[in-house]
Structure 1
Amino acid sequence: MQQEYLEAYDSQLRTDAEVADALSVERLGPLRLATFAGGRGFVTYADLGGADADGIGEMVEAATQYFLGLSGIDEVEWKTRGHDRAPGLHAGLVARGFVPEESESIMIGEAALLAQTVATPPGVEVRRARTETEVLAAGEMQGRVFDDLGWRSRAEALMTRLQADDTVELWIAVANDAVISAGRLEPVAGTAFAGLWGGSTLPEWRGRGIYRALTAERARSALARDIRYLQSDSTEFSRPILERSGLVRVSTTTPYVWTRPSD
């Protein structure tokens, strides 16, 4: 099962699926060099073509020079996966100013197995967010959880996405008219996958099945859209919750982030 999931992930969720919303995409050997709104660059690939450490170092150097030459790109993420053959990649990235961030688990599961019945505490309602007020309330809650001072701009960007694309869904758990947990469902066009993103729960409400209930509702919605697999990149906090819901850890992913040097 794990190998089946990993093969589906590699064949369906890498390269084109990751840069579908990019402003521009350039090919550099096996690499996709993408630019996104907000001055963000992104590097991904299906594999590195069997290159050795020297060859990979040359790719990193060429990608770095490409983004250096693009005005307005202030930050670039190079997305690595733990199961790739990539000799010398860590050293090559660090040598050129990329900083590794926290590794996350790549989690995959069958939507049909995740659509469980999960009891929630009395007074807690799980529902799809439909209004601007609900989206902003979810964003404010997530800002508190993640200590994100820029939560409002992210929430407003999500509102724009929700209005433009009805396949993207935001699900919330509400108690006493306040959002206490939230998470998105994002189908990936042209694949059998949807992503589970942005999951968060207020600390005082954790350990009571609320996030599992959110996952189950998103799984039911995915099934209604004929989606087979659900995927998430999970921290060590959320991984055990998703495992209890039925997702399987198939690999890891570590973002390396480059920030444009100041003049």
Structure 2
Amino acid sequence: MLAVFDDRMRKNAPPDAPGAYVERVGDVVRQTGPDAAWNGVLWSALDRSRVDEAIAEQVDHYTALGREFEWKLYGHDQPDDLADRLEAAGFVPEEPETLMVARIADLPTSSAPPTGIELRPVTDAAGVELMAQAQEEAFGRDGTRHRQQLLAQLTERPDTVVAVVAMAGDVPVSAARMELVPGTGFAGLWGGGTVPAWRGRGIYRALIDFRAHIAAERGYQYLQVDASDQSRPILERLGFTALTTTTPYVYRPRLAA
């Protein structure tokens, strides 16, 4: 399954945002897009003799565009000191996560939201604002970029994204989205966050079930999650399997020496 994931979702990944493109340059596959889009390296197959040169090439490419970018490093990527080389080049690692995958047909078929919670599809700017409010409180960080990304997707590529917000009356308490990747069989679950006062009540699980049903209806076979330590136990209980780790290494040109 890891080999299938690498082939479909990294090595041959389609662009995931309006105005973005994916290209292979030597032994690196990268996505380049507008500033609000995700920019970064999806896959690489580097040996020790060329790794530093390839890292420098990516830095030059994105710096020339004024883009912050991410080298998405997986636990099985080579060479085995790639993380050290990225840090030496000025990349800053963020928190590692666990790549988890499940076959949709093997997941539990029903997980209703708790009493008093309504799951509401997000289809317009008003819904995006509610979603952003929930995620900003859940994660404690500004959601401006995610607002821009989601609004662009809903406007220009609505068939590739599903977003949902959990409402307690008029108050948004949790939110999540799903990226549908055409031609791969994979749908990615992203951004699942619940405000602290509402955690532990089954909302996160209900959001997974909501998105899994839609993915299955649209012909997708697998769900993929980059799971935090907090969400991994829930996903394991549902039937997701851990394949490897993934760590974002971020390069910010404005902070570079």
TM-score w.r.t. structure 2 length? 0.89
1:162 maps to which residue? 154
1:35 maps to which residue? 32
Q: What is the RMSD of the two structures over their aligned residues, measured on CA atoms?
A: 2.2
Is 1:139 matched up with 2:124? no
Which runs of at least 4 in structure 1 moved beyond 3 Å after TM superposition? 18-27, 65-68
How do residues 242-253 of structure 1 correspond to structure 2 at under 5 angstroms? 242-253=235-246
Of 2, 8, 13, 2:9 maps to 13
1:72 alignment partner AA: G
Deviations 1:169-211 (A, max 9, x none): 1122221222211111211011111111111111111111111
Aligned equivalents of 1:20 and 1:152: distance in 2? Answer: 18
* Secondary structure of the corresponding residue to residue 50 of structure 2: helix
Stretch moving more, 151-160 or 188-197 = 151-160
Deviations 1:135-190 (A, max 9, x none): 211111111222223x2453243123113223211122221222211111211011
Of 47, 50, 53, 1:55 maps to 50
Stretch moving more, 153-162 or 93-102 = 153-162
Question: What's the CA shift for 1:26?
Answer: 4.8
Contact 1:142 1:200 in 2 (8 A): yes
Aligned equivalents of 1:26 and 1:212: distance in 2? Answer: 36
Stretch moving more, 199-208 or 165-174 = 165-174
1:180 maps to which residue? 173
Deviations 1:105-126 (A, max 9, x none): 0010011223522243221122
Aligned equivalents of 1:42 and 1:142: distance in 2? Answer: 23
Question: What's the CA shift for 1:225?
Answer: 0.4
Of 197, 206, 223, 1:204 maps to 197
Stretch moving more, 174-183 or 201-210 = 174-183
Bigger radius of gyration, 1 or 2? Answer: 1
Q: Percent identity?
A: 38
Aligned equivalents of 2:69 and 2:145: distance in 1? Answer: 20
